[in-house]
Amino acid sequence: MTWRKVFLGDLFKVGSSKRVLKSQWTNEGIPFYRGREITRLATDGFVDNELFITEDHYAELAEKYGVPNAGDIVITAIGTIGNSHVVREYDKFYFKDASVLWLKRASNVSSEFINIWLKSPLFIDQLDRGNGATVDTLTIQKLQSVQLNLPPLPEQQRIVAILDEAFSAIAKAKANAEQNLKNTQELFESYLQSIFENKGVGWKEEKLREVIEYDKSQKVHNGLPYVGLEHIESNSGRFLGNLEPQAVKSSTFYFSNKHVLYGRLRPYLNKVLIPNFEGHCSTEIFPIKVSDKILREFLFYWLITRNTVKNIDATWTGARMPRANMNQVLTFDFAFPSKVEQQNIIEKLDILSSETKKLETIYQQKINDLEELKKSILQKAFGGELKTDKDIAA
């Protein structure tokens, strides 16, 4: 069976739409898609769009310039490029010029086969090689010039049928793994929240300012590790940096293994760290010292609960760079048991957190493996190696 190398421009007439002015957008009529709507179509097969053009405007465009027909392909061309959708018989829409490119079918080719190829590494790698880096703009000329190996039409259709079945099974397995991952995370979050909502006998309640203080010391700290917001993983408090000494030009705060580090910029990101080392940190991070009534690990768990994150986030100021109002946070009520009970709670949460992270790693690896399997199948399909369904598992 002969495969031949062709340019995409030999199979489709590549172009875009006629410009539609923002003043011509309406709230009803014919759907008008931008890149984000095409991405949703490519991912989910449907879209709840917000923009339209009038029936009369659409009819005028159709008569003068044409509109997407069944078998054509539309593909995102700016930002997140390469999200493609095969136009169906019942699709009726127009789209934004430049943001989306239009492949008008001009030969006897399976558009579904081409659409799958557009999602394969073989397509993306050609774009990257031609630009020396990952591209964020796809031009008409570039799309016309990409090459692919094309089998006869019956073979295209056979490959599409095999891949549709395989990808459906992969999508189902991936959805299950993603749901398991979500359930695992929610289980820990719910248990954590219940600890602080269902206070036991003997718990005390004080204002937060009575049990902690911000320690914004700027003593000389040359030769110490540096912690920026990017070095703290959201929600988990995992340290993503290294312990190599690092100097920075801007002002920093000193901290030690007696502090809790709280990221005040964009508090919804929930960046909290318990350092086990001495260092200095960005001034977007507040080092917190706890009183002798509180264990710092207990404060850490309180800070990352959903309710605390929500309440701190509600204090933010600054629209462009939202920061928690840390003075207002000091007025929050803070309930706590004896230090012995705090230690018991910490140990239980540490065990559950550790088990949760193990499960998260397993499910995330499953998701990653499924993505790699999909890439491997695509490589086989477009390399002419997909002879039978059994080749998928080979």
User: In this predicted structure, what is the pLDDT of residue 249?
Assistant: 85
User: In this predicted structure, what is the pLDDT of residue 37?
Assistant: 94
- Among 150, 185, 219, identify where a domain stops: 150
Among all chains, which residue has been given the structure tokens 């959201």? 234
Residues whose CB is less than 8 angstroms from the CB of residue 322 and which lie 6 or more positions away in sequence, other chains included: 265, 266, 267, 316
Domain count, the chain: 3
Q: Are 149 and 161 in contact (CB under 8 A)?
A: no
User: In this predicted structure, what is the pLDDT of residue 247?
Assistant: 87
From residue 359, how far is each of 171, 233, 238, 330, 345 by CA, in Å?
20, 17, 16, 35, 21
Give the CATH number, domain containing residue 306. Answer: 3.90.220.20
Q: How far apart are CA 165 and CA 161, in angstroms?
A: 6
User: In this predicted structure, what is the pLDDT of residue 390?
Assistant: 52
- Judgement on whether residues 11 and 137 belong to the same structural domain of the protein: yes
- Judgement on whether residues 28 and 125 belong to the same structural domain of the protein: yes
User: In this predicted structure, what is the pLDDT of residue 6?
Assistant: 95
- Judgement on whether residues 171 and 51 belong to the same structural domain of the protein: no
Give the chain's residues under pLDDT 70: 1, 129-135, 219-220, 387-394
- Judgement on whether residues 268 and 210 belong to the same structural domain of the protein: yes
Neighbour tally for 49: CB within 10 Å: 15
User: In this predicted structure, what is the pLDDT of residue 239?
Assistant: 96
- Judgement on whether residues 347 and 198 belong to the same structural domain of the protein: yes
Mean pLDDT of the chain: 91
- For the chain, the C-alpha Rg in angstroms (whole number) is 28
- Among 150, 170, 189, identify where a domain stops: 150
pLDDT in tens, 162-211: 999 999 999 999 999 999 999 999 999 999 999 999 988 899 999 999 99
- Judgement on whether residues 132 and 18 belong to the same structural domain of the protein: yes
- Among 312, 336, 360, identify where a domain stops: 336
Domain that holds residue 166: 152-203+337-394
pTM over 0.75: no
pLDDT in tens, 356-372: 999 999 999 999 999 99
User: In this predicted structure, what is the pLDDT of residue 133?
Assistant: 44
pLDDT in tens, 204-259: 999 999 999 999 988 667 789 999 999 999 999 999 999 999 988 888 999 999 99
- Judgement on whether residues 161 and 250 belong to the same structural domain of the protein: no
Q: How far apart are CA 291 and CA 120, in angstroms?
A: 57
User: In this predicted structure, what is the pLDDT of residue 84?
Assistant: 95
- Judgement on whether residues 246 and 289 belong to the same structural domain of the protein: yes
- Judgement on whether residues 146 and 264 belong to the same structural domain of the protein: no
User: In this predicted structure, what is the pLDDT of residue 132?
Assistant: 45
- Judgement on whether residues 341 and 197 belong to the same structural domain of the protein: yes
User: In this predicted structure, what is the pLDDT of residue 386?
Assistant: 72
User: In this predicted structure, what is the pLDDT of residue 367?
Assistant: 94
- Judgement on whether residues 17 and 165 belong to the same structural domain of the protein: no
User: In this predicted structure, what is the pLDDT of residue 394?
Assistant: 47
User: In this predicted structure, what is the pLDDT of residue 135?
Assistant: 54
Sign of the CA dihedral 31, 34, 37, 38?
positive
- Judgement on whether residues 350 and 330 belong to the same structural domain of the protein: no
